[in-house]
Structure 1
Amino acid sequence: MTPLDFEYLRKFLKDRSGLDLAPDKQYLVESRLLPLARKAGLSGISDLVQRVKNGAEALTIDVVEAMTTNETFFFRDKTPFDHLRDTVIPALVQARAARRSLRIWCAAGSTGQEPYSIAMCLKEYGAALTGWRTEIVATDLSNEVLEKSRAGLYSQFEVQRGLPIQLLIKYFKQAGELWQINADIRAMVQHRQLNLLQDFSHLGTFDVIFCRNVLIYFDQETKVGIFMRLAKRMEADGFLALGAAETVVGLTDAFKPHPDKRGLYRPNHLSSPPLVPGMPAAKSAVRA
């Protein structure tokens, strides 16, 4: 891969997905795109880049999907799900007693472990949610991972990563060498393809938004724009869950940290304008 090819791919990926590749990540691009080039019958990444430049849309989608990270597992990092069980659901059960409904958005649903973990939390909450309408919307940039999520089929290795054995027995059935999550849990999750760089107002408003372990790949300016648009999609008393390495602090006043609940945030309706217009876009960016 030539330096020009790499620079083209850096800009292309930033424009298409928000992925902010650092200048020293050429090895990462090569490791992920060389197999794709060979699969497409091309001699190397330079040929792949030329095809993308010529508008080969299917190949373009494959390049974006190959470069976006889909690392996930059930109840990842545990703490956000403890917050969901101990803080978020109790507060919303009380606040939503009249309408008896909850909407939750998993904004980087990947292969389904996170939205299904949320669904199991709701199931485990028991009688307090009986008769409630609960809706979980799982979105992702990649159609490939969304298809896996819809199927709800996982390997032994995948179900051993973070999933308590009692929940495996309770909510999964064995299908040959795989495990499939039960139909009633799958039915709780809607799947939609979505690019967080684009408008998502059509999704409506939510009581809870999980947007975890995806913003770390964006520069400051992109993060701020996403936070401002997330705030518009959240109920006034809603909750935002971010990943362990993510924060709103120093980026926006649209959200404020929940006291003593790491990674959990509330809408800030006394907020001032975002902290960024005027901030240099990417000088202190967190990069992939």
Structure 2
Amino acid sequence: MKRRNSLSLALPASMVSEHTDLRDKTAALAQVGRAAAIYRVDEIIIYPDKPDESLLMKYVLGYMETPQYLRKYLFKVRPELRYAGALPPLRTMHHPVDDEAANIDVGEVREGVVTEANDNGFLVDVGVDQPLKVDGRGPSKGSRVTVKVQRKRPLTGRPVKKSQLDDYWGYDLRGSRARLGELALSPEWDLTIATSRLGEEIGKHTYELSTAWLTCRKTLVAFGSHKEGIHEIVMREGRRAEECFRYILNTIPSQGTETVRTEEAVHATLAILNNFKD
């Protein structure tokens, strides 16, 4: 099941810059993609930071989120995806493994890409051995769409929106022009949380957080980089972290290592927040 309320992560564009090897950068992003899917994150936002590796982050995380049968349409051969073959599968509801039209059920929802389109309708590759037809004018060829199967013979369906689905349907990616402090102060968020080793232990705010979690519509959880924490990053904007975030929390108290990598902090933080009912 998807979350009742929306959960977004804010990650620095420099997140993987501590790694010098592309294979290691890809592996770090793989951990983030898996964590986002496991804990039903709705959106990953990449905020500006130096060095800027946002392009690599968008390609790797976007590739992971895309069903395997659609990648040939949506991704060209690129150096950023050199180690994409080593990425773990998400195995979410929108990544089906059955590739036979005979096994599709009426009412099933699939991701697809428009392969042909005209004024009367369009054909969609939904990862089976025949295209699905949708009547009426639709998106242009090459567009990614979400469709619901209405009939098996012939295979037909209609477009649906992710917001109409009950199941978790992957994460969206967004590149932010706004720096972290400005992003956190946006009125789109009902609840903002920054993670920091300098923050208060999350256990001290369990009751407050669980109550806020029930009532908020959109939550932003922000992470720093390996070089700078949330306080330092926001300070470069001439702001104080306490002015930008409702909570600044240490989600890994008494850590046994000198540093915690961003991808590790993402997993640890989301595992705790996942205990709050939404």
The TM-score normalised by the length of structure 2 is 0.26
Q: Which structure shows the higher helix fraction?
A: 1
**Larger RCO: 1 or 2 (CA < 8 Å, sep 6+):** 2
